Amino acid sequence: MALHVCSLRQMQSTATISGKETSQSPHQNTPASCSILIMEKKQPKFRRNDYDVNNTVNVTDPASVSDAIESLFLDLYPQARPEPLKKAIDYISKLYRGGNPDFAPCDTAYHDLQHIMDVTLASARLMDGYERTHKDGSALGAELFMFGTLIALFHDSGYLRKRGQEDDKHGAEFTLVHVSRSAEMLKQYMNEIGMNDLSETAASLVHFTGYEVPVERIVVPSQVYRTIGNIVATADILAQMSDRCYLEKCHDRLYTEFVLGGIAKKRDELGNEQVVFASPQDLVIKTPGFYQGAKKRMDDTLEGAHLYGEKHFNGEHIYLDAVESNIQFAEYVVENKADIGMLQRTPPKTPGSDQEQASPDADSRNQQVQDRRERSTDRRKNPEQRYPELLERRKNKTDRRKTPPESKE
């Protein structure tokens, strides 16, 4: 149930925003004659593929994400103006769709517009969690909340190709340098909107989301900026790995980007070629191992910023729970002979993934799905038979947030 309350100027009210109930002050410029509007929606039984981890915001629709972030922003800062936030989200939406004359439409199917919206929403929620636990002088305030949101919006913009200069390339070819490219685009945008005093710092903080510069070597003006960098980088990990179609996207889309970006193979110190990911299936097989590294990065390098998600959702760590669920299923797939036919969800398409040509990896997975359904019971028709062993495992699982599992050979 989503509850939105339009308060009278002289009233205090409570509203459920993004799945949590908070005490909120009246919004600025709310007319005294405004009536209270309550919208109740019955949540669907299952999470939808195009919705966020809380199943309340359509992350393939920038307008929906913009509304959700605006609600959080005004709840925290009733006197602030949300227009710059909304304009920035609209700018990114048009940029990824090819509406900017200087850049071609996004063509990276994994790092598409949905990914950007999902990360930006997660960043806003983590910043909200931070603000609600830092009411003293260490709070961010409206300007730095906006600052963090801009970093999230632009963090992968470096995958976009420049018209007339990079038309013969694929965006994924910039994988190893995309963060530096993103930093330049963010800096230019912030200079254009009058935030030039923070543009250089923003360009530095984008590197928290990548590996071009070690996080510990990134120079920041003060700890609060490091906190923002930690939050956005954490949101980048949580949003993609909690995606309902995460494993399908790894198989169908991410492997292709890794091949084009020079990640699937690498050279050792002697110049010998080493295969990192041999196939889309191999990428899925190695995903649980990647999570262990990502979890350590979130806990240590990024200073546990993911815990602000618990503060936002009133004690529930919805993002990390969804990530754990995906990783458990990946382990289950691996134990079942890495049967890719078990990955049966259909990822939605947004700018980036909608530019995708016929994907042999996706076609191969879809064929394996059909083959599996012919060999065994179709789970869509028999929901009670949905992997009973997996359900039992989830009931008796060890909480990896407290006790990391032993690594597998």
pLDDT in tens, 333-379: 999 999 999 999 999 999 888 865 556 788 888 888 888 888 776 55
| Residues in CB range of 216: below 8 A, 6 or more apart | 301
* Distance, CA of 304 to CA of 319 (rounded, Å): 13
Q: 74-113 pLDDT, tens per residue?
A: 999 999 999 999 999 999 999 999 999 999 999 999 999 9
pLDDT in the model for residue 367: 87
**8 A C-beta contact, residue 353 and residue 117:** no
Q: 96, exposed or middle or buried, with CB in 10 Å at 0-12, 13-18, 19+? A: buried
* Distance, CA of 307 to CA of 151 (rounded, Å): 20
pLDDT in the model for residue 371: 85
Q: Which residue has the tokens 């636990």?
A: 133
**8 A C-beta contact, residue 212 and residue 177:** yes
* Distance, CA of 7 to CA of 356 (rounded, Å): 45
Between 13 and 159, the more confident residue is 159
* Distance, CA of 249 to CA of 240 (rounded, Å): 9
What's the token pair of residue 126? 């983590």
Q: 225-267 pLDDT, tens per residue?
A: 999 999 999 999 999 999 999 999 999 999 999 999 999 999 8
pLDDT in the model for residue 137: 80
Least confident of 122-131, 146-155, 263-272, 399-408: 399-408
Domains (ranges, CATH) in the chain? 43-395 (1.10.1300)
* Distance, CA of 342 to CA of 399 (rounded, Å): 24
Confidence of residue 389 (pLDDT cuts 50, 70, 90): low
**8 A C-beta contact, residue 39 and residue 2:** yes
Q: 289-333 pLDDT, tens per residue?
A: 999 999 999 999 999 999 999 999 999 999 999 999 999 999 999
Q: 172-224 pLDDT, tens per residue?
A: 999 999 999 999 999 999 999 999 999 999 999 999 999 999 999 999 999 99
Confidence of residue 397 (pLDDT cuts 50, 70, 90): low
pLDDT in the model for residue 355: 66
pLDDT in the model for residue 39: 32
